[in-house]
Structure 1
Amino acid sequence: MGELLYGNEEIYIIVYCFILLWINLDYIKDYRKIKTGLGEISSDEELEVNPEGLSMVLIDLIFNFFRRWLLYILAVLITGNILVVIASVILFAISLYDVLFNYSLAKLKISNLKFYLAGLDTIYVSVFVFYLFLS
């Protein structure tokens, strides 16, 4: 089993990147439907889960780690490029802000930050996959 894992790390990273691309592109494609669905919910009281609770913030942080931050870490470690570090830090800061401050339903209705992050992540992942294919 060890032989299958060692030496094939790039393939696993590329598969992970394609999964992230699929998630991001699907979110971008369905963004209008998501915004419409959010608009139909009238208040936070109608939700069965409190979006401001610590457990929801923790779930969102874990989700963002696997959706975004792990890729940022991998890209920085693999490329070692200062531009990748700067882009990763900026995207990390924006996504952390989104997790910590855009949690209420009212803020989600008016914010487009998740849409822009999905677009920026799609570009970031695409460039990183292109870099992996060239190296």
Structure 2
Amino acid sequence: MSFEEEWANARAAATTETSMRLNAVDDGSGNRGLGRGLKVTSSVLNDRAEKAEIVREDFLKADNAALTETSQVGPSLKGFKSGPAFASFIDRWKSKVEYVEKLVQNDVAGALRSSAQTFTERERKERDRHRSENQGQDLK
């Protein structure tokens, strides 16, 4: 069998398998996740935001340790042409770390908190609506 024939067979098999996939995953117990739903609440989102903040803080600690060590390289290369290049490297490093920090802080943790706030407001409106609809009714 030539490479082209083998490749065509592999592609055909992959396409066939892909078209037969279901939107569920076997968890090992034979349960493919059917009937279970995703439950997201404001507390879940706030919890994830806090975890993102922990990641951000750990990232900054690791950056601080790396930068402390790396900052010593340039001065130790006095007399070498590559010595001053480390100043450029450190400036670029700082800008990239700042970018990642803001990304995690605003686009991850911030977005999760914003979504949690939206969930809370929607939950509050729904609660108030149900209270006003059920006001005066005898609920048993």
Sort the TM-score into its range (normalised by shorter chain). Answer: 0.3 to 0.5
Q: TM-score, normalised by structure 2?
A: 0.33
**Which structure has the highest helix share of the two?**
1
Q: Which has more radius of gyration?
A: 2
**TM superposition score normalised by structure 1:** 0.34
